[in-house]
Amino acid sequence: MSIRVLLADDQALLRATFRILIDSCDDMEVVGEASDGAEAVDLTRAHHPDIVLMDIRMPGTDGLAATSAICADPALSTTRVLILTTFETEDYVAQALRAGASGFLGKDVTADTLLAGLRTVASGEALLSPGATRTLITRFLTTPAPGTHLAPPERLADLTVREREVMALAAEGKSNTEIAEDLVLSPLTVRTHIHRAMTKLGARDRAQLVVIAYQSGLVQAGPPVP
């Protein structure tokens, strides 16, 4: 089954380039194009794509507001958002994650990196490096934006001890392979625990699971990463 992608960018030439690149892959297809955030939300509701490749800076409704609207809609729970923007700052990354995005890439990425990123997000993984995860959590996600409600500790009550252990290590930015080595488990078993924790907590993907781990107090943030 093809990965269905919706493109949201105010630059028509860039959308055309992405369409050619994505449609050239046997396992992907572009199902629509939006030139602003409001149109991105409308087309996402109409087409239910697997991934929205979302720019941040767009006229009218921007990509962050559109991401928030998409991720908050229960009818779009299977749609993930991958942020792609020229403005690759930590603050934008943090806002995108708070809004519910599953990953973040700068527009200077190579074609292969972009396609790999789409496949990563489509598989349910978060597109963040361990270093980026630690930095973002420490500097931004542990300090909620105005009006944001922290995840209460009781949300973790349904998790097994092992699921909490795996979730905590994931929140530290460790990969499934690294977690498997730490806990003497197979990577497949770790992946199973991650997905069970996501299901129990209603997390859309690993990125949301990481945010919940810190906001609920399962993991405490250390000093900012230099």
**Does residue 226 sit within a domain?**
no
Give the Cα separation of 131 and 144 in Å (integer). 20
∠ CA 69-27-99 to the nearest 5 degrees?
15
31 lies in the same domain as 118: yes
Domain edge (last residue) among 63, 94, 127: 127
12 lies in which domain range?
Answer: 3-127
145 lies in the same domain as 119: no
146 lies in the same domain as 96: no
105 lies in the same domain as 188: no
pTM, rounded to two decimals: 0.69
* pLDDT digit string (tens) for the chain, length 226 residues: 799 999 999 999 999 999 999 999 999 999 999 999 999 999 999 999 999 999 988 888 899 999 999 998 989 988 999 988 765 556 676 777 778 888 777 777 889 988 988 998 888 776 665 555 555 555 555 555 555 545 566 778 899 999 999 999 988 878 888 899 999 999 899 999 999 998 898 887 777 788 788 778 887 765 544 4
**Does residue 19 sit within a domain?**
yes
Domain count across the chain: 2
CATH number of domain containing 82: 3.40.50.2300
Domain edge (last residue) among 127, 153, 187: 127
Mapping DSSP onto H, E and C, the string for 157-191 reads CCCCHHHHHHHHHHHCCCCHHHHHHHHCCCHHHHH
**Does residue 133 sit within a domain?**
no
